[in-house]
Structure 1
């Protein structure tokens, strides 16, 4: 594949011009401004200049820096990990579930532990959905159970067992000190300890969640921004079909 080198575009092609902002834990003065400029230079910006600085009080200051990035990337060499599924519309998902499962797919969703941000889980689960995309509650062949926010992982696992869930859907906002990583890992470990991990399709979503991160944490798929209910539903039914085929194959070989 031919190389395709990229640099940021500001005023002219390949000039590498970028703008970034950050906060420093010091009061605003000329020394702090110079510190911000030097930090930007250390980040790889040539001709770095502080174009805006603001005192935030209590020993903090905010900076906007403009400069020229010296680095570039080969777009042709970049491989992005993403969930493998054919995207269907709502009716297509319902038809496939009816045809392959012969019953409703059960999805239990929640924001776990300290996460109180329900916008993401509601956008996927609730009847009205988001941005013209109906949520899983509107799917005729799905039983969507939204447990809401700040749900203990143990409670989520218990409810999933009670409901005989096919899918567990977790929403997590990226948190300070990466507590979301601990939360997500704990849930996966609990399911493993209960012998349920292979029996449920485990999906996580959030504004800065990637499929690669989700797989590293032991999940089947991760969905980030610009994701709608039909993405999650399409992945879920295709993953269920794949698993069922594998299990039948193992059972057949065992016999």
Structure 2
């Protein structure tokens, strides 16, 4: 990154402020609908705004892509993100660390809770086939993994964690209508804090594309992972967090 702390969006030329935005409106795909899309783009601050794509999305709905200039600046010095504060380990290093530090297998329980039936994310992290060329946590010899699948209730998850003597509980949430993912995670966090003493509570790790990684403390969990997370990142975090917890005990 350059030494600049304030930057503008880049479209056709450096610093021209051009951005591309997509959205769906509950209007038919016609001239009036296109005019409505441009009106919305103008109210969003795009000036001038150009409609570059429109496509019907069923009866009475249209998907739009607009392109235009904004006057806003990005202050890089004010950006706050959840930085990775632990080293990335290979599968061999993770297994070795678990053997040395825990002297037993690390127990992980994973699930999609509530009515969420989207298991692609949790399966990518847990299943042997993994994602992005990385094998999932089931591949790690020193990890014992139980994948409960989809639509698991919070009481079922707590009971499974107790039965497995889980060191960590991994929860994936994709469905976000009416902030269902936030409500579900808060319910889970409260249930685990009620069911376990603080010294025995499993690590609570949440993942999903719509989470703000800075909200871990607010939601009552130990870590939030967002889009693009790999099994290696999760395994490395578990080793780091459990080691730190044991050292602090």
TM-score under structure 2 length normalisation: 0.92
Residues 57 and 91 of structure 1, relative CA distance in 2, 3 Å threshold: closer
Change beyond 3 A, Cα 1:49–1:136: same
Q: Tell me what 1:214 maps to.
A: 216
Q: CA RMSD in A?
A: 1.9
Match status 1:236 vs 2:245 = no
Give SS of 2:115's match: coil
CA deviations on 1:51-108 (whole Å, 9 max, x unpaired) are: 3334445332332211111111022332312342221111111111111111111000
Separation in structure 2 between the aligned mates of residue 197 and residue 84 of structure 1, nearest angstrom: 23
CA–CA separation in structure 1 for the residues paired with 2:213 and 2:55: 37
5 Å matches for 1:68-87? 68-87=69-88
CA contact (8 A) 1:83 1:222 kept: no
Return the alpha-carbon distance in structure 2 between the equivalents of residues 179 and 71 of structure 1.
32
Matched residue count: 247
8 Å Cα contact 2:176-2:210 kept in structure 1: no
Once residues 242 and 57 of structure 2 are traced to their aligned partners in structure 1, the CA distance between those partners, rounded to angstroms, is 51
Q: In the TM superposition, what is the alpha-carbon distance from 1:29 to its structure 2 partner?
A: 4.1
For 1:1-255, list aligned pairs within 5 A.
3-196=4-197, 198=199, 199-247=201-249
- Is the contact made by 2:107 and 2:165 (CA closer than 8 Å) also made in structure 1? yes
Residue pair 1:82, 1:211 contacting (<8 A) in 2 also: no
Q: Normalization by structure 1: what TM-score?
A: 0.90
Structure 1 gaps, min length 5 = 248-255
Give, in angstroms, the shift of residue 167 of structure 1: 0.4
| Conserved 8 A contact 1:184-1:217 | yes
User: SS of the counterpart of 1:13?
Assistant: coil
